[in-house]
């Protein structure tokens, strides 16, 4: 039995579907099963990584776990997994984690590094997936593109190598079900470095009308985003954007190495999600 946590998320739901398509016995852990429509083949259980009782029930009979970890959940999950007899864990971590840093830069890197450390110190077989910026982050532009042809935001020149969530899920599904991935850290990126302005242009080309990225003052963007992004996380996002202006975002071939095919492009991602824009 494979347990998929974060099963309603961008990556988790793809992982769930891929495992079912491949004929695996799958259980999905979610806080509220009623908020989603589930495949008939999935064993859906209500629970939370921070709830020891529900986690114990979710892990019963489970051999392998796709872990979308919440802050602070690492040690508790590892202890529960070892008690349950889990053998393998594939963690959706973050490309922000820096193995060379004594102190991680920002809360996102810090909490993912903490979960990684708990798994490294355990007796579980582990694989870490560290995606770069998600292509899905640009869904936050959808309200602007539905009402006009301009995306307004900070740092038009900030660069990243946006990765398609389906590629992350494909790597995860193979790491969960195939041998040879234990102890591996996969840095997952899209195939090219793109600025915010590049992404807006490509988005427009894909949906058939010009889209322009208009740069706003950073403090104006901070005020607007603070309504739905916690302060420390927002600080980290804006810091990364500022530091990547004028740079080429690094890319890797880890997706192709694991899946046997190149990573999907940002244009591919837009075409898959064109209805949102």
On the question of pLDDT at 103 being above 90, the answer is no
**Residues 242-255: tens digit of each pLDDT:** 999 999 999 999 99
- Would you state the pLDDT for residue 69? 83
On the question of pLDDT at 120 being above 90, the answer is yes
pLDDT band at 134; cut points 50, 70, 90: very high
Query: How far is it, in rounded angstroms, from Cα 221 to Cα 153?
Result: 6
On the question of pLDDT at 35 being above 90, the answer is no
- Would you state the pLDDT for residue 182? 96
- Would you state the pLDDT for residue 47? 87
Summary mean pLDDT of the chain: 94
- Does 2-131 match 132-164+189-250+262-277 in CATH topology? yes
Whether the CB-CB separation of 264 and 192 falls below 8 Å is answered with no
Q: What DSSP state is assigned to residue 134?
A: B
| Per-domain residue ranges of the chain | 2-131, 132-164+189-250+262-277
- Would you state the pLDDT for residue 82? 95
| 132-164+189-250+262-277 to CATH, choices 3.40.718.10, 3.30.565.10, 3.40.50.720, 3.40.50.970 | 3.40.50.720
Q: Is the dihedral of CA 273, 263, 126, 174 positive or negative?
A: positive
- Would you state the pLDDT for residue 206? 93
Top-confidence residue, 225 or 173: 173
CATH fold for domain 2-131: Rossmann fold (3.40.50)
On the question of pLDDT at 270 being above 90, the answer is yes
Top-confidence residue, 259 or 234: 259
Tell me the mean pLDDT in the region 206-233.
91
Query: How far is it, in rounded angstroms, from Cα 89 to Cα 66?
Result: 6
pLDDT band at 29; cut points 50, 70, 90: very high
- Would you state the pLDDT for residue 236? 87
- Would you state the pLDDT for residue 72? 85
Query: How far is it, in rounded angstroms, from Cα 229 to Cα 269?
Result: 24
Whole-angstrom CA distances from 139 to 55, 119, 208, 274 are 31, 32, 17, 10
**Residues 42-76: tens digit of each pLDDT:** 999 988 888 888 899 999 999 999 999 888 888 99
Burial of 178 (0-12, 13-18, 19+ CB in 10 A): exposed
Tell me the mean pLDDT in the region 22-35.
90
On the question of pLDDT at 186 being above 90, the answer is yes
On the question of pLDDT at 41 being above 90, the answer is yes
């Amino acid at each position: 039995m494979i347990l998929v946590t974060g099963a309603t998320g961008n990556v988790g739901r793809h992982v769930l579907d891929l495992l079912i398509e491949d004929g695996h016995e799958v259980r999905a852990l979610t806080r509220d099963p009623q908020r989603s429509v589930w495949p008939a083949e999935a064993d859906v259980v209500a629970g939370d990584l921070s709830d020891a009782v529900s986690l114990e029930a979710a892990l019963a009979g489970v051999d392998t776990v796709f872990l979308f970890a919440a802050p602070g959940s690492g040690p508790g999950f590892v202890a529960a997994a070892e008690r349950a007899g889990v053998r393998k864990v594939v963690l959706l971590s973050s490309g922000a984690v820096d193995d060379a840093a004594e102190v991680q830069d920002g809360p996102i890197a810090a909490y993912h590094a903490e979960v990684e450390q708990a798994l490294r110190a355990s007796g579980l077989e582990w694989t870490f997936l560290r995606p770069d910026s998600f292509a899905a982050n640009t869904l936050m532009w959808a309200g602007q593109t539905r009402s006009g042809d301009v995306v307004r935001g900070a740092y038009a020149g900030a660069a990243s190598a946006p990765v398609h969530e389906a590629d992350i899920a494909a790597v995860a599904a193979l790491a969960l079900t195939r041998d040879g991935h234990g102890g591996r850290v996969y840095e997952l990126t899209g195939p090219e470095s793109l600025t915010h302005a590049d992404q807006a242009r490509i988005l427009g080309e894909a949906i058939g009308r010009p889209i322009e990225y208009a740069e706003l003052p950073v403090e104006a963007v901070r005020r607007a985003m603070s309504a739905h992004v916690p302060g420390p996380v927002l600080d980290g996002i804006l810091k990364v954007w500022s530091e990547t202006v004028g740079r080429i975002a690094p890319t890797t071939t880890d997706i192709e190495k694991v899946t046997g095919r190149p990573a999907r492009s940002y244009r591919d991602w837009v075409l898959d999600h064109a209805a949102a824009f």
